[in-house]
Structure 1
């Protein structure tokens, strides 16, 4: 034992005797690679958003009964793009490739993803641009990594950093976007990718600056909720109770999606027929309930600003969940995080009708956190994202709500690739 300690001491002294190469900075050359990826990600996200806004304004010209044929034709065109160019996959494929395909996201899926998602989101589908942006910027990270001859965890980290840069650009939360890119991979194994957190933070920060300069989106709170003031320890109990309602709606959404998936899979029909049928259903829902159209980024403020009767709120809640489920299962492309926040907002307004003495902001944000953490299993990033998007500065109640949704989520995750074990 003494001999072993003596050898360790000698080794330590030998190390100390060696000349030290002085480096005044922590960052290395790879910092500039992460920064470049963030800048490119910000430019990609800005370009996508500008085109999306342009198309949305053009297609929004068709309202009233015209929304039905407009969304039907958009569904048909999106389906034809996927049929001809190739299926770009969904968030399940992204997670699966990061975990099991050595962190590689294939850029060849980007043309189909970009074109189909632009049509789907701009025409009024109930999915947002976050998933397409994550796919495109993540695959850009893979491409840049291969260009620099990176392998293994370095390549995977760059792909994750690319995902974070795209997600951050839309939400305006570098820390939340970075954590989301890790949490979404798997609720048990995200720690395996801890090395990617610094690359993700750097890329997210640069992407945020570029996107904010060009678009000015994500500067300050996005949704106009009244300022929250802490009223006592019972606020934590309220947050958990409201999150229970949000979690319940998360379960409803998951099973509603499974139902429509079963229905669409019963018929062996081309993808463009599925997207066309989806467009008809979404158009009819949007005709009767216009607030259910689009993914909810602007509609959340409209919902909060109007004093809608309880029956209308219930109708919006039910049919928005159906609209998201149909959008997901009929082949339309996009992400479901902001739409779930819209559902949480509607649920919060309904609860406030029955319990008007409770804080409206706390009610809405807790429902948002509960439903999103239940479906995506991302409690940490959900907390930070909602604090940023709503201006909810005292975010601990949001954390309680997010953890409630996370721990009461179904055993089998909605994103099925989160369930698979790492292959040998």
Structure 2
């Protein structure tokens, strides 16, 4: 039955330009600052990584990625991060198993320890990315800055600017931030037009991504063969691979709280993190050096030679990397889950291509990444965006959208890879 036009709610009024103009300068400052902090931590971690994994083993006459060195280095990283969590003021922030992309505003005194723990983790080899601690640090700094220099501005504004700017810097494009913001706003009451609400965060994300691009020139394109002219067999492959990847991701999600509870029984960071590092070292020895670190450079190496490994080897790397992700996030290493999950999806996609060579590698990789990210992050837009940007093929977009539907049905309403304070899974 048609609704009486008179009874319909009036459209939300647009925000006048004079209300948006004062947000431009804060967005510019936060965008530049967030990207520079991310770059600084990344550069420091990469310099330390070169020392730990190249200079030091070469000087000692030990193979850079020998099993002995991987086990020793990961265990030592657990000891180093454990000391930071134990002794540094603020204890490097909250339990990382309880945090996601939406970070609380931590006190400034906590942030040095959090950034130090994140840098040590990135350099030492655990399978986590920089996104969660960097977002948390930028949010904390932005809120502190806002309270000090613009006390009348609500803290939520500074949090939104910092999150958007950091996501823009992480992915090298503001599109990812815009998608995340839109998805977050979908479940909240908002005032005015949607575009009015994303105006300032989108500017912060654009400035953050532009700063990153001008300094570091990041690229996520794996340079796989171009995918053109999709057919029915491609649609079937996309549906199957994305769904299998989602199921594999959900296995990790269901295991996660039990692994976290096992490490919590050790009670002390100087037990939890070194033991976790030892287990990660053993996993690295099993899966090979490509299963270490956050995985961004490693997926480039995988994609540079899609036929360089057998289906079994790709499958082993995917399983080992996913297990390493669960262990690293559960034992207390400070880091995010997106980048290592991307590695899992790439390895799984290349496994499908190795099993069925008729499946195009770009299609296999993008749908594998899509499925695993839907399970691990529960962020639909981020999953679609990341899967698409890895292959830069417009012809694949429609297949990704279709493949996301059954994969989403497999994960929605189920536990997430994030825990509450009591150790139960967020839904």
Shorter-chain TM range is 0.7 to 0.9
TM-score, L = length of structure 2? 0.83
Deviation at 1:387, TM superposition (A): 2.4
Whether the 8 Å contact between 2:165 and 2:208 is mirrored in structure 1 is: yes
Deviation at 1:181, TM superposition (A): 5.1
Give the alignment of 1:315-394 within 5 angstroms.
315-394=316-395
Deviation at 1:237, TM superposition (A): 4.2
Structure of larger gyration radius: 1
Structure 2 match to 1:72: 75
Distance 1:392 1:160 in 2: 31
Whether the 8 Å contact between 1:140 and 1:159 is mirrored in structure 2 is: no
Distance 1:112 1:284 in 2: 27
Structure 2 match to 1:3: none
Distance 2:313 2:268 in 1: 36
Give the alignment of 1:84-95 within 5 angstroms.
84-85=87-88, 86-89=91-94, 90=96, 92-93=98-99
Q: Which SS does the other structure have where 2:206 is aligned?
A: helix
Distance 2:348 2:190 in 1: 36
Distance 1:284 1:291 in 2: 13
Distance 1:366 1:129 in 2: 23
Structure 1 match to 2:410: 408
Distance 1:274 1:158 in 2: 34
Whether the 8 Å contact between 2:417 and 2:425 is mirrored in structure 1 is: no
Deviation at 1:401, TM superposition (A): 3.1
Whether the 8 Å contact between 2:31 and 2:162 is mirrored in structure 1 is: yes
Structure 2 match to 1:290: 289
Q: Which SS does the other structure have where 1:127 is aligned?
A: coil
User: Which ranges in structure 2 are unaligned for 5 or more consecutive residues?
Assistant: 1-15, 58-63
Structure 1 match to 2:302: 303
Give the alignment of 1:191-206 within 5 angstroms.
196-206=197-207
Distance 2:215 2:299 in 1: 23
Instruction: Kindly report the root-mean-square deviation, in angstroms, between the aligned alpha carbons of the 2 structures.
Output: 2.7
Whether the 8 Å contact between 2:242 and 2:407 is mirrored in structure 1 is: yes
Give the alignment of 1:217-296 within 5 angstroms.
217-218=218-219, 221-232=220-231, 235-265=234-264, 267-288=265-286, 289-296=288-295
Distance 2:270 2:190 in 1: 39
Q: Provide Cα deviations, 1:98-119, integer angstroms capped at 9, x if missing partner.
A: 5xxxxx4433321121101111
User: Which ranges in structure 1 are unaligned for 5 or more consecutive residues?
Assistant: 1-22, 99-103
Distance 2:355 2:189 in 1: 41
Q: Provide Cα deviations, 1:199-257, integer angstroms capped at 9, x if missing partner.
A: 22110110111111222223xx4423222213236644432222101111111121232
Distance 2:400 2:47 in 1: 35
Structure 2 match to 1:9: none
Q: 1:235 to 1:150 in 2, by over 3 A?
A: farther
Distance 1:168 1:286 in 2: 31
1:161 aligns with 2:164: no
Whether the 8 Å contact between 1:34 and 1:161 is mirrored in structure 2 is: yes
- 156-165 or 292-301, which deviates more: 156-165
Q: Provide Cα deviations, 1:44-74, integer angstroms capped at 9, x if missing partner.
A: 1121121121111111124212221122111
Q: 1:392 to 1:333 in 2, by over 3 A?
A: farther
Deviation at 1:404, TM superposition (A): 3.6
- 322-331 or 130-139, which deviates more: 130-139
Q: Which runs of 4+ in 1 moved over 6 A?
A: 23-26, 418-421
